Amino acid sequence: MSQEFDSLEQIIRQDPVFGQVSFDGHEQIVFCNDKDTGLRAIIGIHNTVLGPALGGTRMWNYENEWAALNDVLRLSRGMTFKSAITGLNLGGGKAVILGDAKTQKTPELMRRFGEFVHSLSGKYITAEDVGMATEDMDTVREVTPYVTGISEHKGGAGNPSPITAYGVFMGMKAAAEFKYGSDVLEDKKIYVEGIGNVGETLVEYLTQEGADVVIADINQDRLEEVRDKYGATIYGGNDLYGEQMDIYAPCAMGATVNNTTINKLTADIIAGAANNQLENEIKHGKMLQDRGIVYAPDFLINAGGIINVYAELEGYDRSEIMRKTENIYTTTIEILNRAAETKVTTHQAALEIAQARIAARKQEALAGK
Nearest Cα neighbor of 313 from 42, 177, 169, 125 is 125
Among 67, 143, 234, 253, binds ligand NAD (CB under 6 A): 253
Inter-CA distances, 224 with 196, 200, 204, 248, Å: 12, 12, 14, 20
Within a 10 A sphere around the Cβ of 291, how many other Cβ atoms? 13
Q: Is residue 248 helix, strand or coil?
A: strand
Asked if residue 148 lies in contact with residue 161, where contact means CB atoms within 8 angstroms, the answer is no
Closest contact distance (angstroms) between CB of 250 and ligand NAD is 8
Asked if 80 touches ligand NAD (CB under 6 A), the answer is no
Count of chain residues binding ligand NAD (CB under 6 A): 25
What burial class does residue 61 get, using C-beta atoms within 10 Å of its C-beta: 0-12 exposed, 13-18 middle, 19+ buried?
middle
Asked if 257 touches ligand NAD (CB under 6 A), the answer is no
Q: Is residue 154 helix, strand or coil?
A: helix
Beta bridge partners of 53: 91, 124
Among 29, 42, 79, 130, binds ligand NAD (CB under 6 A): 130
Asked if 48 touches ligand NAD (CB under 6 A), the answer is no
Query: Catalytic residue numbers?
Result: 94
Shorter beta-carbon distance to ligand NAD: residue 8 or 98: 98
Closest contact distance (angstroms) between CB of 254 and ligand NAD is 6
Asked if residue 187 lies in contact with residue 210, where contact means CB atoms within 8 angstroms, the answer is yes
Asked if 338 touches ligand NAD (CB under 6 A), the answer is no
Closest contact distance (angstroms) between CB of 201 and ligand NAD is 9
Asked if 55 touches ligand NAD (CB under 6 A), the answer is no
Shorter beta-carbon distance to ligand NAD: residue 70 or 119: 70
Q: Which of these segments, 33-41, 61-69, 217-225, 312-320, binds ligand NAD (CB under 6 A)?
A: 217-225
Closest contact distance (angstroms) between CB of 105 and ligand NAD is 13
